[in-house]
Amino acid sequence: MPGFKEKAVAREGPSGGEVQIIPGFDPTVDADAPADRLTIAEFAEWKRKKDEEIAATAHAAAEKRKQDIAAGLVRMTGKELYAHEPWVFDEEYIQANAR
């Protein structure tokens, strides 16, 4: 099969010190590791929930920033100023009101 490797593992077989072939055995995996490891589906569910929490936190922070700007509690960036008061950047408006 493509991508499938058999690895020889030195283990004592039924008749003594023979080498058994264990298909798909990975010696880098800890044999004493707990059996309650996460499955791919469990990890995907955890990741989805974590991403939702991060998005909710970012959305709440953006809403708070909008409220603070509307109340005049924080300074606006240039991008925010242009979005809220574009006339500040209009040369014709500036020249018409400079006289």
Q: What is the pLDDT of residues 27-76, one digit of tens each?
A: 566 666 666 777 888 999 999 999 999 999 999 999 999 999 889 899 99
What is the pTM (predicted TM-score) of this model? 0.49
Q: What is the pLDDT of residues 14-34, one digit of tens each?
A: 566 666 566 665 656 666 666
Span 4-13, average pLDDT: 50
Q: What is the pLDDT of residue 1?
A: 42
With contact defined as beta carbons under 8 Å apart, do 56 and 49 qualify? no
Distances (CA, A) of 93 to 84, 88, 90, 96, 99: 16, 8, 5, 5, 11
